[in-house]
């Protein structure tokens, strides 16, 4: 297992076929204000790849964009709503089809309100990850080893988590409901960027 660091694009041919786990690190939580700094990606075979974008980046990353936009490759996220918005806003592609482990968790782990990635890794896989670097400065000139390890851990476990959540979705008869939610995520992400992030347009109010 190794963490590979790249500037401005993903090298060609470094990922195996099949689903890829994807995550992003930004300067904050407001997509149009807080620039995209890092995209993490893993094919689930043991290595993670980090692509860092500088403050003057034009986000011209053809290899990474080709993977994210591939309609035949499933993209796995934890809280896809945020990552899809950041990827489309800065890279200009919608990373679909997609799967969100947070949504799948909420549809299956109804006995708890703890659906963060750390909790899923602990309960479903029996392992531990640190979230200490979650709020660090991702736009600095250098990423520390701790930041790189944190970023890699955000995609390291998603394939295995998906497998367990798929079993639970099937057991509870909610696979179709989950798939419908995943299909709506691009629209939800676009609503966020367009100004409806804090409004439920389906509510009566």
**Residue range 2-30, pLDDT digits in tens:** 999 999 999 999 999 999 999 999 999 99
Q: Is residue 10 within 8 Å of 118, Cβ to Cβ?
A: no
Q: How far apart are CA 125 and CA 50, in angstroms?
A: 23
Report the C-alpha gap between 124 and 122 in whole angstroms.
6
What is the predicted pLDDT for the residue at 131?
74
Domains (ranges, CATH) in the chain? 3-196 (3.30.420.10)
For 80, counting Cβ atoms within 10 Å of its Cβ (0-12 exposed, 13-18 middle, 19+ buried), the class is: buried
Q: Is 63 helix (H, G, I), strand (E, B) or coil?
A: helix
**Per-residue pLDDT tens digits for 187-197:** 999 999 999 99
Q: What is the mean pLDDT of residues 144-157?
A: 96
Q: Cα–Cα distance between 44 and 158 in angstroms, integer? A: 8
């Amino acid at each position: 297992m190794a963490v590979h660091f790249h500037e401005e694009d993903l090298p060609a041919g470094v990922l195996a076929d099949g689903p890829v786990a994807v995550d992003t690190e930004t300067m904050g939580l407001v997509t149009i204000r807080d620039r995209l700094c890092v995209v993490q990606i893993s094919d689930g075979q043991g290595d993670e790849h980090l692509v860092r974008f500088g403050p003057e980046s034009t986000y011209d990353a053809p290899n990474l964009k080709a993977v994210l936009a591939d309609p035949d490759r499933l993209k796995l996220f934890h809280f896809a709503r945020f990552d899809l918005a950041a990827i489309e806003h800065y890279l200009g592609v919608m990373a679909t089809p997609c799967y969100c482990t947070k949504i799948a968790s909420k549809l299956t782990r109804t006995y708890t309100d703890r659906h963060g990635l750390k909790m899923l890794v602990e309960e479903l896989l029996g392992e531990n990850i640190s979230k200490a670097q979650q709020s660090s400065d991702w736009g600095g000139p250098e990423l520390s080893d701790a930041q790189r390890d944190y970023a890699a851990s955000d995609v390291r476990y998603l394939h295995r988590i998906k497998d367990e959540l798929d079993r639970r979705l099937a057991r509870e008869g909610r696979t179709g409901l989950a798939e419908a939610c995943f299909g709506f995520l691009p629209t939800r992400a676009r609503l966020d960027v367009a100004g409806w992030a804090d409004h439920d347009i389906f509510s009566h109010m």
